Amino acid sequence: MSENKNDILVEVKGLKKYFDIAINAFQTKPLKAVDNVSFFIKRGETLGLVGESGCGKTTVGRTLLQLYKPTDGEIIYDGKPIVTKEDLQDFRKKATMVFQDPYSSLNPRMTVADIIGEPLDIHGLYATKEERQARILELMDHVGLNSEHAARYAHEFSGGQRQRIGIARALAVNPEFIVCDEPVSALDVSIQAQVINMFDELQEKLGLTYLFIAHDLLVVRHISDRIAVMYLGKMVELAPSDEICDRPLHPYTKALMSSVPMPDPKVARENKRITLSGDIPSPLNAPSGCPFRTRCPYATDMCAESMPEFREVKEGHFVACHRVDEINA
């Protein structure tokens, strides 16, 4: 992936995360949750990561931050590979995560001030208690919470407010990079827009870089500069946001984009929905070759024999498909 190295903040090369699953008392089998995924994220941009449930999106985010230990692959942050414990410790001060469920990701026994202040305590980012308190109130202000909320507990808040507490906690170490793991999927639609707009404002104000994981394609299109599409642990397409939404090249992405509801009834009538046959195979028994071939209308014997290379078919547009040129001719 050719790009000016100074612009790239995060780069992932050949990332793999396999989980050993017991199939009987004596045998285990690897579940390939993430299998040979590569991408980069430039400073100040948002890379959206989409795909059906169970495709490995969240595992990519967690393995990237090394909440899961990678099975294989290289994670490079700001030009430096993360190899040693010291590297990881430095990385954890610059990269954080906003979790999907604001109901389970906040400790019910801690006050809002202690939840937001915990990263400050862990990394020793204050000299006095007054400095700690001032920083907590500043973070609460960033995400639209009042100072009187500091002494309350998480269960006293609505879902949207709880997610704001989670975002304030993620901002506590003054990070450069945030993995947003479906941060609005557990919220009411009316609240989703507020939280998405807040992410936009924080990015502009603090110069943040996001990996934004979601399954709502309209949300992803709104917030992302580029979008990556995953299927069964593999990355199948990556391109600028408008291009991947308006001119997808991979058969799976075409089907995915055709399912997006259109607010304009006239456009919706003209939009031909692509229905895929069959079910998603189990990642424990993934098909040989291309993982999408069992549901792909264009699949041939070649697709069963080898996994297509994830290659740049035009500038900035990467696709993993043996027949991409024929399909889009």
- φ, ψ of residue 247 in degrees (nearest 5): -135, 60
H or E element at residue 275? none
Does 250 map to a domain?
yes
What is the rounded end-to-end Cα distance, in angstroms, of the chain? 24
Instruction: Enter the tokens of residue 156.
Output: 């006293």
193 lies in some domain: no
Q: Please indicate, yes or no, if residue 236 is contained in any of the structural domains.
A: yes
Q: What is the pLDDT of residue 127?
A: 93
- Per-residue pLDDT 10s for the chain (329 aa) are 445 566 999 999 999 999 999 988 889 999 999 999 999 999 999 999 999 888 999 999 999 999 999 999 999 999 999 999 999 999 999 999 999 888 888 999 999 999 999 999 999 989 999 999 999 999 999 999 999 999 999 999 998 999 999 999 999 999 999 999 999 888 888 888 999 999 999 999 999 999 999 988 888 999 999 999 999 999 999 999 999 998 999 999 999 988 877 666 666 566 677 778 777 888 888 889 999 999 999 999 999 999 999 999 999 999 999 999 999 97
Residue 80 resides in a domain: yes
Which CA distances in Å does 86 have to 73, 90, 92?
19, 6, 10
Residue 3 CA: distances (Å) to CA of 40, 161, 180, 315 = 9, 39, 24, 11
For residue 51, how far is the Cα from the chain centroid?
10
Question: Which residues constitute the domain of residue 84?
Answer: 5-106+177-188+205-327
Helical H runs in the chain?
Answer: 57-64, 85-94, 112-123, 129-142, 159-171, 189-206, 217-223, 241-246, 251-258, 265-270, 301-305, 324-327
Is 327 buried (19+), middle (13-18) or exposed (0-12) by CB count in 10 A? Answer: middle
Listed residue (198, 193, 212) closest to 168, CA to CA:
198
* 94: CATH: 3.40.50.300
Interatomic CA distance for residues 201 and 90, integer angstroms: 26
Nearest to 40 by CA among 13, 64, 11: 11
For every residue of 96-132, DSSP letters joined together read EEE-S-TTTSS-TTSBHHHHHHHHHHHHT--SSHHHH
Let me know if residue 140 belongs to a domain. no
Q: Would residue 71 count as lying in a domain?
A: yes
What is the reported pLDDT for 190?
A: 84
| Nearby residues of 219 by Cβ (< 8 Å), 6 or more positions away | 184, 192, 196
- Considering the domain boundaries, does residue 33 fall inside one? yes
**What is the number of domains present in the chain?**
1
Whole-angstrom Cα Rg for the chain: 21
For position 149, what pLDDT does the model report? 92
Q: How far apart are CA 184 and CA 214, in angstroms?
A: 8
Residue 16 in any domain: the answer is yes
pLDDT at 2: 46
Residue 8 CA to residue 13 CA, distance in Å, equals 13
